[in-house]
Amino acid sequence: MVVYPELHLCGATGTPEQRKEQLEAAAEPIDGPRHQHLSRIARNLGVWLLPGTVCERGEDGHLYNTAPVYSPEGERVAAYRKCFPWRPYEPYQPGDRFEVFEVPGIGRIGLAICYDIWFPETVRQLAWLGAEVIINQVATTTCDRAQEQILVQANAIFNQVYMVSANSAAPAGEGQSLIVDPEGRIRARMSGATSGILTDVLNLDEVVRVRTFGTAGLNRMWSQFREDDPVLELPMYEGRIDPRKWREKR
C-alpha cells in the first residue's frame, strides 16, 4: 500500500483568496481525467494506492478535499471527503460521512484527513466501523505538528488501532510523518521536515491482541461494558453532529 500526503497532487499557496482560486482551477469531478490516470497507475503497478487527497468538484458545485483509494485492479474503492476542513483557511465544503474500506484477507482501513483527528469523534467512529488501521493524510505547514503527533498517539491509544500519519515534507510542510501501534508506541518516524520514504509492515493481529489483553496488559476499553450495565445516554450527539445544536451548547 502506497500512501501520499494530503493535497499531494493539487496544493495551493498564497492568501486564502489566492488558494481558493488555484484550487478552483485544479478541481475535477471525482470520475474526471485524474481518476482515469490514478486508476491506471494502481493497476499497472499492482498496488493499493492512496495518491494524496485531491480537490474534488462535487455534483453540487462545491469544492471537497477528497481522499480516493485505488485497489491493485485499479478500482476506486473509497473516496472520503474531509469532514472537518481547517477553517477559515480551507475553502472546502465538509463531507457528511466517515469511510472505511476493506483489504481482502487483511483487514479494514479507516480514512482521516489532517484536521479530522483533532476531533476525537472521527477515529472513534472509524474504529466503531471496524477499522484496525487509520490512515491520516496530512498537509500541516504550521508549528502545531508537535501537538498533532501527540494526537496521533492519543488516537491510537484511545481506540487501540494503528495510526499512519503521512505529512507533507519541506518546503510544503513540516514533515515528521509517523506510524504508531495500537498501544501508542511510535514504530517509525521521519526526522524533521526531510522528504523521504517511510516503510513498515503492520501485523493486524496486534490490534486483536491489544483489545483482548489490554493496553499495557491493563486497559480493555472495547470490553468495558456488560450486558446488564445501564444504558449510558450521550446527550452531546443524539446520534449525530448537528452544527446548529453544537453552537447552542458552546
Question: Which are the catalytic amino acids?
Answer: 6, 82, 114
The residue written with cell numbers 501485523 in the block is 203
Contact 177, 193 (CB under 8 A): no
- Angle, alpha carbons 202-135-19 (nearest 5°): 150
Beta bridge partners of 133: 109, 162
Kindly calculate the radius of gyration of the chain based on its CA atoms and give it in whole angstroms. Answer: 18
Report residue 64 as a C-alpha cell. Answer: 471537497
Contact 207, 182 (CB under 8 A): yes
Contacts with 170 (C-beta within 8 Å, 6 or more apart), sequence order:
193, 194, 195
Contact 203, 187 (CB under 8 A): no
Cα(83)–Cα(122) distance, integer angstroms: 9
Contact 164, 130 (CB under 8 A): no
The one-letter amino acid code at 114 reads C
